[in-house]
């Protein structure tokens, strides 16, 4: 699993767009404006499921 933290939405979206191959991710913006990205290899989103309770959107 890989974690990224971004100050700008554009940077987060650029990294998401550059993901190739079999990956799933979860992303959210926090209360101070940072954008968080959790990236998991493969087609299975289950490793990211616990993040939903913290406001992450799993893709």
Domain count, the chain: 1
Residues of the chain with pLDDT under 50: none
Q: What pLDDT sits at residue 21?
A: 80
Q: What pLDDT sits at residue 11?
A: 96
Q: What pLDDT sits at residue 39?
A: 95
Regarding pTM above 0.75, the answer is: yes
- How far apart CA 20 and CA 30 sit, in angstroms, is 26
Q: What pLDDT sits at residue 20?
A: 80
- How far apart CA 30 and CA 18 sit, in angstroms, is 23
Q: Write the CA distances from 20 to 34, 42, 52, integer angstroms.
A: 24, 11, 23
Using one digit for the tens of pLDDT, what is the confidence trace for 17-29? Answer: 998 888 999 999 9
Q: Where in the sequence is the domain holding 52, given as residue range(s)?
A: 2-58
């Amino acid at each position: 699993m890989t974690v990224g933290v971004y100050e700008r939405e554009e940077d987060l979206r650029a990294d998401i767009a550059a993901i190739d191959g079999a990956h799933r991710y979860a992303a959210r913006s926090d209360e101070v404006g940072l954008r968080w990205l959790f990236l998991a290899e493969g087609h299975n989103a289950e490793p990211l499921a616990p993040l939903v309770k913290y406001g992450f959107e799993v893709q």
